[in-house]
């Protein structure tokens, strides 16, 4: 298999030091570059959406891959929302007089 044009311009030592520069999409084998990607989720009665989460994005098909740091931050945010939504649901709807 011949190297991609980007790999041809990068020294082998640099590719060895930074394997992420050599990342390939598992879906289409396209080249991955740093960028941002949207992330949304429907969960336990609420919808969460972030427009620009740092990610590796395929230049060919657009598939995003999130690094462990971003995944951990998303999981912490969701855990906080889970705690708050339990409190919200436990108190129930407020009664209003008509």
Dist. CA 68–CA 42, nearest whole Å: 21
Domain range enclosing 37: 7-89
pLDDT in tens, 10-54: 555 655 665 556 789 999 999 899 999 999 999 877 899 999 999
53: CATH: 3.10.20.860
Is residue 39 domain-resident? yes
Domain count, the chain: 1
39 closest CA partner among 31, 28, 47: 47
Q: What are phi and psi of 59, to 5 degrees?
A: -75, -15
Query: Quick one: pLDDT at residue 5?
Result: 43
Please indicate, yes or no, if residue 83 is contained in any of the structural domains.
yes
Q: Distance between CA 23 and CA 58 in Å, rounded?
A: 9
Rg (alpha carbons) of the chain, rounded to whole number: 21
pTM of the model: 0.64
Q: Are 61 and 30 in contact (CB under 8 A)?
A: yes
């Amino acid at each position: 298999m011949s190297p991609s044009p980007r790999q041809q311009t990068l020294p082998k030592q640099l590719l060895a030091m930074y394997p992420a520069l050599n990342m390939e999409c598992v879906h289409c084998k396209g080249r991955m570059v740093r960028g941002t990607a949207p992330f949304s989720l429907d969960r336990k009665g609420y919808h969460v959406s972030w427009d620009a989460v740092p990610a590796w994005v395929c230049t060919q098909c657009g598939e995003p891959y999130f690094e462990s740091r971003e995944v951990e931050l998303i999981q912490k945010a969701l855990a906080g929302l889970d705690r708050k939504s339990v409190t919200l649901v436990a108190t129930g709807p407020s009664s209003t007089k008509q």
